[in-house]
Amino acid sequence: MSGDERRLVILQAAVELFSQHGFKGTTTREIAKASGVSEAMLFRHFENKDALYQAIIETKGCRESETRYAWEYDEVLKKALADKDDEAVFNRIAFQVLEKQQANVAFMRLLLYSALEEHELAERFFHEFIERVYKFLGGYIEERQKDGAFRNVQPRLAVRAFLGMLLHHSLNTVLWDRSNYLLKISNEEAAKGFADILLKGLEAERA
């Protein structure tokens, strides 16, 4: 196994353990055991537990967002933005968010743990990634307000409402209601529905 491969195995094991026990409840010895390496080998790749946690946030969150959340470079979304096709814009974004959130349950749990434990890296993830999402979506809403298409509401309030719907749905799907007892719906249907709810609330009154 190469050094990069071993590092990836350690990161994957750490994500699972941190998502189950939190940062404080997980030891480097446990991570090493789950990775199939010695604790000494773990420390060759990561100086300490903080360094390991930071690598996870960067790899699974901030750096991964450059490829999997690169909305600015999504060809379908770029066309929708250029055409100012509001339904297509928010439908596309909603679907991407739901797919992203539900594709990695362990990372979602890890982020929840890091926030509850008030770990400094939770704040870092927020500023390096979530803040960028607010700026991107808020900017589009503000532009459409200037066009007269959307009514006058605080753009970031609308963003929070939109992301709130998506996050709550994913949390129900992967954590609280995995049997889909309350709502059985595909991500395509959910994305379309949430986008429609948002746009109905933003729609400018017609004279």
**pLDDT (0 to 100) of residue 1:** 64
Same domain, 89 and 180: yes
> Tokens 């434990």 belong to which residue?
117
Going 97 to 167 to 57 to 43, the CA torsion angle's sign is negative
Q: pLDDT band at 199, cuts 50/70/90?
A: very high
Average pLDDT over residues 116-129: 75
Q: pLDDT band at 67, cuts 50/70/90?
A: very low
Same domain, 113 and 67: yes
pLDDT at 148 over 50: yes
**pLDDT (0 to 100) of residue 66:** 45
Q: Indicate which CATH number applies to the domain containing 108.
A: 1.10.357
Same domain, 80 and 148: yes
Q: Which among 23-32, 48-57, 187-196 has the top mean pLDDT? A: 187-196
Same domain, 119 and 181: yes
CB 12 within 8 A of CB 48: no
- pLDDT tens, position by position, 168-184: 999 898 888 888 889 99
Question: What is the DSSP annotation of 60-121?
Answer: IIIHHHHHHS-GGG-HHHHHHHHHT-HHHHHHHHHHHHHHHHHH-HHHHHHHHHHHHTT-HH
Q: Is residue 207 part of a domain?
A: no
> Alpha-carbon distance 113 to 111, whole Å?
5
How many domains are there within the chain? 2
**pLDDT (0 to 100) of residue 155:** 96
Q: Indicate which CATH number applies to the domain containing 24.
A: 1.10.10.60
**pLDDT (0 to 100) of residue 88:** 95
**Domain boundaries, position 30:** 1-46
Same domain, 81 and 7: no
The DSSP bridge partners found for residue 203 are: 150
Same domain, 17 and 95: no
CB 48 within 8 A of CB 114: no
